[in-house]
Structure 1
Amino acid sequence: MKSSRRFNNALKRLVAGITLSASLSLPAQALTQNIDASFRPDAANPQMNKFRNDTPISGVCEGHIPAQCKALNIFTIRDTAFRATSIGPILPGADLRNAAMFKVPSQWRPLAVTHQITGEVETVEVRIAGIGHRWDLPHPPGVSAWTLPGPPQIAWNRRWLDGVAPCVGTRYIAASSTMVLFFWLVPENAGACGLAPGTEIPKFWYSHLEYAYELRTPNPLTMSTGNYTGSITYTMGPGQDFDFGDVMIPADNLYTFNFNLSVQHTLKVEVPPGGQRVELLPQGGWQAWLNQGRKPTRLFRDQTFNLSASSRFKMNLECQYPSGNNCALWEPNAGHVVPLEVSVTLPSGLTDASNQPVNRRPLLRDGVGTELFQPGIYVDRKPGTLHFEVPRDHVEEMIKQGTARHYSGNVTVIWDSQV
């Protein structure tokens, strides 16, 4: 019996310990926001190599200070799911942590975004650049509780219009006797800002959160077509990333931003009509040979094309008649083969991996030397040239007096965006 009682007592202690541990494990409450941006090259503005913000704008940037937001390159979101409530009164002259305090992650923070198919990783940077709320309080005391009696007296609305350093007021509020909407800008790496009332406020609460964010995105011209996704999570509460002081406690303690960057590139080659059939000729044509019997020293053709490119690409050859790393032309009657050299000149704005312009760069079957071409700007229908030539020391072998010969062969030039 004693042994049984000891076992039951031990079991009770074990159950009590498990119950205590479970009671201390509180689930995290989280807010989420999707941030969407896209890049698609714009022929009307080829110098603009930036992502466009596609996240629906709400709040003050949408309906109240749009020009100011555009000039600052910020976007606002009004999150009506956010709540924060005071756990005690806010007293006149209170220190910042016991007043209406606002501290946001205003410093730049990096996050990784990953291509959903290739696994390529790029870095996005984000910072919170503004903060606002709808705040409410009972009446009395009403909004005039924020008036400082002075001397000199400072009106309650002026304090919320002007903001408090390091935050910067936007001169925007909307108010009733018990409610105010306000919005302040937050400079980079700013600390906490806020203010204490002139009259005790027994209860105070925020019924939404309004914030501006600023993005630094990768250079889309170096990214692959497709979607890149990633997320960053901020903490909320006293001493956290979003810190509203020790009196105002948010209902949620995490805020997650889910990023989706969509990249849609252009790579288009336009060859003029008849340009697929390349005829090699001597300089000035065949007249010198036909009339004077003077053998040509060059057989060549420069074929122009128009190129539109906003992404990296590589080039190489496929040949009907290979000749080492080049292609060849075949003469069936004589059974004679001559090598054909192919090279490319790309439009201005495109460079190789060493950031050098591309002028008569040899195109080879294995693609060596043409593994990477990249745009510095969006190149829109700019002319380039394919150069075809039989090496000089082989031309004499092709031309025999009194003998008709016809050399031919198919050459496929490949522009490949899968780099």
Structure 2
Amino acid sequence: MKRISSVITQMGAAVLLGASSVASANDITALFRPNPGNPMENKFENTTPISSICAAHIPARCKALGIFSLRDNDIVTTANAPILANHEDERQGFMVKVPSDWRDLQVTHSSTGETETVQLRIAGIGGFWRMSRPPGVGGWAQPGTSWQSRWQTAPSPCQSTGHLPAGVASASYFWLTPEGAGACSRQPSQTINAMYVNTMEYAYELRTPNPLGMSSGQYVGSITYSMGPGGDYDFGDVFIPSKNAITFNFTLSVEHALKVDIPPGGNRIELIPDGGWQAWLDRGRTPTRLYRDQTFRIAASSRFKMQLECSIVMNNTCGLRNGNGDEVPVQVAVTLPVGIDGQDDQAVRKRPLRLDGTGTELFQPLFYVNDRPGTLHFEVLSDDMREMLSRPGSTYSGVVTVVWDSQV
């Protein structure tokens, strides 16, 4: 007996790529691109260029704390009055207080309007200061304590980094600011008539959303902090910043992977009974079904949906037709590898594919599933198969198109 059916399947996978942007002084960029070498590491990489503090001076400390540093040369804080020796009110001298608590900001997809939440906190503060001479840097000494020790050792609640390149009337300092830290201050032992900080260096810590649940493309947003007495960045009542606000602009780029490969010849499907046709030819044993399981390999880091398209439509599935115009439906289903869940967090095992898309509207990788096997199941059910067997010698065929679509 001749082969009685064949189905041609065509597979497509839609992929969107997000382009990363160029960072400037207060622009923060991050990128997610799945890593085949470490598929379980599914988080954004901070792609913002870092300043010399974390790049050259305390790189190991920054890496251990998961913080990054930036420098803003446009912000200058200047003392508007002398800093009196041993003043009691810390607001009348050198003081720093930064938004070390976590703040939420919204980022929005530039095409779809989808939103996600990013969290930011300022994890360190420093800068390059100059002062009048006399007294010069020695004016910061206290009985029994050198001026270097008082600046290398951060005042509570700030934490020390040991950073202190200095001259006779200038120094570069950097202190860490733990979560929720308040003001940190220093009082000189001699009155300082003039002082200013002509750069501001700060460290920040980020919490980014889960990229596996985000669409490919760019998400942008910003957050603005007030500066000045009583502001988010508060330098006391004597040191006045040259700006009254600082804005951080965020660009999160998502470059998902969605790739489907079938083996050579896998797009031509021949439906046969269990054990082949020989049992029917030799003993007249009627097959119980006609089927074929076709494997494929998939790499996916983003949610996707699957759709069915047919050259012959029969209700909610595809059909096969012989030369006389007789038609029978073919059932199509999919099994996806472990790590990709369907709706309601269910594993995907022989999930039916239907023309209306019901049941395959959303598949969500739990991690980057890289080059793992899945299966497409094609079957003519027994009742429909009997219709085919009643017309021996006929060949039934049709085209079934299975689409993997990242546009969810």
Give the TM-score range, shorter chain: over 0.9
Deviations 1:283-317 (A, max 9, x none): 11111011111111011000000001111110110
Alignment match, 1:409: 398
Deviations 1:121-159 (A, max 9, x none): 11111110100111111221111111112xxx1111111
| Partner secondary structure for residue 192 of structure 2 | coil
1:278–1:301 contact (8 Å) kept in structure 2: yes
Deviations 1:69-123 (A, max 9, x none): 1111110012122101101111222221112111001111111111111111111
Alignment match, 1:8: none
1:97 matched to 2:91: yes
User: In structure 2, how many angstroms separate the alpha carbons of the residues matched to 1:116 and 1:32?
Assistant: 22
Equivalent of residue 57 in structure 2, options 46, 60, 64: 64
1:160–1:173 contact (8 Å) kept in structure 2: yes
Equivalent of residue 122 in structure 1, options 116, 119, 131: 116
Q: How far apart are residue 187 of structure 1 and its match?
A: 0.7
| Code of the aligned partner of 1:53 | N
1:223–1:263 contact (8 Å) kept in structure 2: yes
2:26–2:70 contact (8 Å) kept in structure 1: no
Alignment match, 1:159: 150
2:25–2:72 contact (8 Å) kept in structure 1: no
Q: How far apart are residue 32 of structure 1 and its match?
A: 6.4
Alignment match, 2:17: none
Deviations 1:10-43 (A, max 9, x none): xxxxxxxxxxxxxxxxxxxxx9611111111111
1:193 matched to 2:184: yes
Higher relative contact order (CA 8 A, sep 6+): 2
Equivalent of residue 74 in structure 1, options 44, 48, 67: 67
Alignment match, 1:311: 302
Alignment match, 1:394: 384
User: In structure 2, how many angstroms separate the alpha carbons of the residues matched to 1:159 and 1:281?
Assistant: 84
1:206-245 to structure 2, matched below 5 A, reads 206-245=197-236
Alignment match, 1:13: none
User: In structure 2, how many angstroms separate the alpha carbons of the residues matched to 1:129 and 1:257?
Assistant: 15
Equivalent of residue 372 in structure 1, options 354, 359, 362: 362
| Code of the aligned partner of 2:98 | V
1:172 matched to 2:163: yes
User: In structure 1, how many angstroms separate the alpha carbons of the residues matched to 2:278 and 2:68?
Assistant: 69
5+ residue gaps, structure 2: 1-23
Alignment match, 2:76: 83
User: In structure 1, how many angstroms separate the alpha carbons of the residues matched to 2:244 and 2:304?
Assistant: 45
Give the superposed CA RMSD: 1.2
1:59–1:210 contact (8 Å) kept in structure 2: no
Q: How far apart are residue 238 of structure 1 and its match?
A: 0.4
| Partner secondary structure for residue 349 of structure 2 | coil
| Partner secondary structure for residue 151 of structure 2 | helix
1:87–1:247 contact (8 Å) kept in structure 2: yes
1:131 matched to 2:125: yes
User: In structure 2, how many angstroms separate the alpha carbons of the residues matched to 1:194 and 1:240?
Assistant: 16
My pick for the range that moved more, 346-355 or 269-278, is 346-355
2:141–2:188 contact (8 Å) kept in structure 1: yes
Q: How far apart are residue 337 of structure 1 and its match?
A: 1.2
1:32–1:256 contact (8 Å) kept in structure 2: no
1:256-295 to structure 2, matched below 5 A, reads 256-295=247-286
TM-score where L is the length of structure 1: 0.90
User: In structure 1, how many angstroms separate the alpha carbons of the residues matched to 2:345 and 2:183?
Assistant: 45
| Partner secondary structure for residue 367 of structure 1 | coil
Equivalent of residue 50 in structure 1, options 34, 43, 52: 43
User: In structure 2, how many angstroms separate the alpha carbons of the residues matched to 1:185 and 1:292?
Assistant: 84
User: In structure 1, how many angstroms separate the alpha carbons of the residues matched to 2:332 and 2:146?
Assistant: 78
1:339 matched to 2:329: yes
Deviations 1:196-236 (A, max 9, x none): 11111111110100000111111111111111111111110
| Code of the aligned partner of 1:391 | L
| Partner secondary structure for residue 139 of structure 2 | helix
Deviations 1:56-77 (A, max 9, x none): 1012101111111111111001
Return closer, same or farther for 1:32/1:256 CA change in 2, 3 Å cut-off.
Answer: farther
Number of equivalent positions: 384
User: In structure 1, how many angstroms separate the alpha carbons of the residues matched to 2:343 and 2:27?
Assistant: 35
Return closer, same or farther for 1:60/1:32 CA change in 2, 3 Å cut-off.
Answer: closer
User: In structure 2, how many angstroms separate the alpha carbons of the residues matched to 1:166 and 1:102?
Assistant: 11
Give runs of ≥4 in structure 1 deviating > 3 Å: none
Equivalent of residue 106 in structure 2, options 112, 123, 138: 112
1:249 matched to 2:240: yes
Percent identity between matched residues is 56
Equivalent of residue 350 in structure 2, options 351, 356, 360: 360
1:279–1:301 contact (8 Å) kept in structure 2: yes
| Code of the aligned partner of 1:408 | S
Alignment match, 2:13: none
User: In structure 2, how many angstroms separate the alpha carbons of the residues matched to 1:176 and 1:165?
Assistant: 25
User: In structure 1, how many angstroms separate the alpha carbons of the residues matched to 2:229 and 2:211?
Assistant: 38
| Partner secondary structure for residue 170 of structure 1 | coil
User: In structure 2, how many angstroms separate the alpha carbons of the residues matched to 1:58 and 1:328?
Assistant: 63
